[in-house]
């Protein structure tokens, strides 16, 4: 009996070593696999560049502001921001104004390897600058309703070109990042026409109508790119998210310095607005499905 008792510790040690060798190790109940990565890239205009989230510091040719919706998305596990190239004032294909275009942003990210076959998520806002939104807002805020109507009509005439350029943009992104889900976010209605007007009510209605037309164009371009090229692009509507939070509401999520019509942050999401954009984006995609080991 004494010899048998002495052999028990040795036998236990042998069995433990065998279990380790075969991989039969106990896993604590609270243990979880390491988070998977969702490589994320962002391109586009000032809404994606973070304008309105904090103080505006111009840094040509590509001004970005910390605290925008891209940073909020990056803070969510398992998202990993590989690169954001969005620029305040960016047009879709034209860099002649001294701001890096969305097309050039995509090319730069591809050349640096930050937009690649490993990319799982791309977000973009684009099109507003191509229809001259800043000029429209200034005209409608400072001039006659006739001038506002003319500016809105000129913007509508530019929408077919915006549609074509967006389709090409989505296809280009997908060609460089074939696994990626592309989320193109629309724009909020800037004015609540039932609230106290900060510009004439008819002008507010014209601006909102222009926004609706632009959003329809963006959604249509996403559908066209999907049908023609099999692009994994989806339109994310934020108008419902911003309902009750227009620039002239009691709880605005859109920045406005009424004492300075030329403040570049005007009519962009404020900190709460960018948070809302992040929520809308995250609600539109399944990070679990996009994540890779």
**pLDDT digit string, tens, across residues 151-202:** 999 999 999 999 999 999 999 999 999 999 999 999 999 999 999 999 999 9
Q: Residue 16: what pLDDT?
A: 41
Question: How confident is the prediction for the chain on average, in pLDDT?
Answer: 90
pLDDT tens readout for residues 97-152: 999 999 999 999 999 999 999 999 999 999 999 999 999 999 999 999 999 999 99
Is the pLDDT at 27 greater than 80? The verdict is: no
| Rg value, the chain, Cα | 25
Cα torsion angle, 45, 259, 206, 136, sign: negative
Q: Residue 36: what pLDDT?
A: 64
Is the pLDDT at 29 greater than 70? The verdict is: no
Is the pLDDT at 217 greater than 70? The verdict is: yes
Tell me the whole-structure pTM to 2 decimals: 0.87
Residue 244 backbone zone (phi > 0: left; psi -120 to 50: alpha; other: beta): left
The whole-number average pLDDT for the span 203-221 is 98
Report CA dihedral (207, 258, 239, 74) to the nearest 10 degrees.
130
Q: Residue 6: what pLDDT?
A: 41
Q: Where do the domains of the chain lie, and which CATH numbers do they carry?
A: 36-290 (3.40.50.1110)
Q: Residue 293: what pLDDT?
A: 53
Which residue has better confidence, 261 or 125?
Answer: 125
- 17-21, 232-236, 248-252, 289-293, range with the lowest pLDDT: 17-21
- 60 and 38 Cβ atoms separated by less than 8 Å: no
Is the pLDDT at 80 greater than 80? The verdict is: yes
Is the pLDDT at 20 greater than 90? The verdict is: no
Is the pLDDT at 35 greater than 60? The verdict is: no
Q: Residue 260: what pLDDT?
A: 94
CB atoms within 10 A of CB 257: 11
Sorted by sequence, the CB contacts under 8 Å of residue 194 that are 6+ apart come out as none
Assign 292 a pLDDT band (cuts: 50, 70, 90). confident
């Amino acid at each position: 009996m004494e010899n048998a008792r002495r052999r028990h510790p040795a036998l236990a040690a042998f069995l433990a070593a065998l279990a380790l060798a075969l991989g039969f190790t106990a896993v604590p109940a609270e243990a979880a696999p390491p988070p998977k990565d969702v490589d994320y890239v962002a391109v586009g205009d000032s809404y994606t560049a973070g304008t309105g989230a904090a103080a505006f510091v111009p840094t040509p040719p590509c001004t970005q502001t910390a605290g925008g919706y891209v940073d909020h998305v990056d803070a969510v596990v398992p998202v990993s921001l590989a690169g954001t190239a969005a620029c305040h004032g960016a047009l879709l294909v034209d860099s002649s104004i001294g701001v890096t275009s969305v097309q050039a942003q995509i090319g730069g990210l591809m050349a640096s390897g930050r937009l690649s076959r490993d990319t799982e998520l791309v977000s973009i806002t684009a099109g507003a600058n191509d229809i001259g939104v800043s000029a429209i807002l200034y005209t409608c805020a400072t001039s006659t309703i006739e001038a506002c109507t003319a500016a809105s009509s000129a913007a509508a005439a530019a929408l077919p070109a915006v549609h074509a350029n967006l389709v090409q943009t989505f296809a280009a992104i997908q060609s460089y990042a074939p696994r990626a889900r592309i989320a193109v976010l629309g724009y909020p209605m800037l004015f609540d026409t039932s609230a106290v007007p900060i510009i004439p009510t008819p002008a507010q209605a014209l601006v909102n109508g222009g926004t609706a037309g632009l959003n329809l164009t963006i959604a249509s371009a996403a559908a066209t790119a999907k049908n023609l090229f099999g692009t994994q692009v989806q339109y994310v509507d934020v108008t419902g998210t911003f309902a009750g939070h227009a620039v002239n509401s009691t709880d605005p999520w859109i920045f406005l310095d009424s004492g300075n019509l030329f403040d570049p942050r005007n009519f962009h999401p404020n900190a709460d607005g960018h948070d809302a954009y992040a929520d809308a984006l995250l609600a539109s995609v399944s990070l679990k499905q996009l994540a890779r080991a």
